[in-house]
Structure 1
Amino acid sequence: MLAITDLVLSTSTLPTILSNFWFNSREINFNACLTQLYFVHSFSVIESGILVAMALDRYVAICHPLRHFTILNNPLVAKIGLTMVLRGAILILPFPLLARQWPYCRTNIIPYTHCEHMDVVNLACADIHVSRYYGLFVLFCGDVLDMFFISVSYILILRAVFKLPTKDARLKTFGTCTSHLCVILAFYTPNLFGSLATRFGLNIPLHVYILISDIYLLVPPMINPIIYGVRTKQIRARLLRLVSLKGN
């Protein structure tokens, strides 16, 4: 699910970004812009939910190792995944619906390489407080709430790790969480910074906004396979075999 979400996030924005830089094509249809907006934000919320589910998996694996497959059985995992997808799809649906109803009589230029919610509605010549407040509601129900649940999971994990008798056991157990922690940092850091900076108008140069926005959408999908690939013995062995063959 994480891989599919990363693919959708990158493919919904990468063609627009490449057409900007390669072909100087800087126009997008309004309906296409709203569609892109929906996919970017909905799959961001879905990915955030997947990271919460992965934190739950780490918690059960470390704190209840003997009951891991009993607690997180296949039907429950499927229900969790479906819940995260539905949450993202439904929670973001008002974004394009509200944005479509506003009158746009000012400029139609967005200073970004793709369409995002606040950048589009800020072009409207109407009272957009509903969109602003709902955007903050989504930020709270998505990233903020998910980060809270992830933090609670890792607090419980750390409590269990520190109860282990030896330092090697503690390092080995907590080492199983390093990939997940790296993915969390790569996803949430630019996401939260961009969301808060856009809403509260922090005095940051525009090119920094654009760079952070593109990093958030393109870098995590690129490095997530590397993060998990390095930790997987079969993938690591296969890559080493390919490198050794090329060296010969």
Structure 2
Amino acid sequence: MKKNMQLYSINLLKERFGSELSINDAISFFYISERNSIFCYTGIKRNDERETYIDSFPVSLNMKNKTKMNDIFLRINKGCIIFDSFLNEDSYKDVKYKKLKCILQLPIGATTYFCVSDHIEEHGSWRFTENRLLTSEVFGMCYDELDGLLEAYSKIMHTNTQYNRYPRLTRSNKKDNLCDLTGLWIPMNFPYIAFEQSDYDFSHVSLWGFYRNVGLLCRSSVFYNALLSEGADKEALKNIIKPNVNWNYEKVMYKDIHKNK
């Protein structure tokens, strides 16, 4: 949280109350509040059109500069996709915010790499640099931290072979998936954890589901210390074992998106 406070104080962009923000501003995705909370808006569910936009917003929303009555925004917090209102709604409007120049990077091509990158203008051009603080706030862990945790987990569980390592980070570029542990929605191209080959039990586990699994196992000091001894990052592990978030938020379940499936 102290790091978040530093991020708010060093960001020189203008403070604005939530009530002053327009929907157009949501296209930039990222805000930090004076209360040091990170807001990563990543899409919208348009109930009247039966469409859900992830990692994008419909052009019509930008043009109208307002939502429809049943529109619900999607946010990512600690690797969990949640439903939420925009910052100009009642629960947020009296708080001050600063807009952050960042982009959300989901896996592309054959990679599973993800991050939040700072969008930096330099000498008339733009460059992108991973912001590890924001990445851990949005995804729960940075890519290398999660990879290290999965490596440690597989060694403890003896699921690391010369042919495959399970659990492992992956993603689907063809379809959405259902988290086998939590029932959460895993959007196409969003990273998730596979404990088995596709079509087997626990072959699709959301980041949040995996973090809750690790949190439960780490109630045993034996397992927790074993993870550390196998190379898991201690601070990153703390970030997912006891996430400092308000979980009154409504998590996005698979059935919320695919009602007829």
Greater RCO, CA 8 A, separation 6+? 1
Please state which structure has a larger fraction of its residues in strand.
2
Question: TM-score scaled by structure 1?
Answer: 0.29
Q: Rg bigger for which structure?
A: 1
Question: TM-score scaled by structure 2?
Answer: 0.28
Please state which structure has a larger fraction of its residues in helix.
1
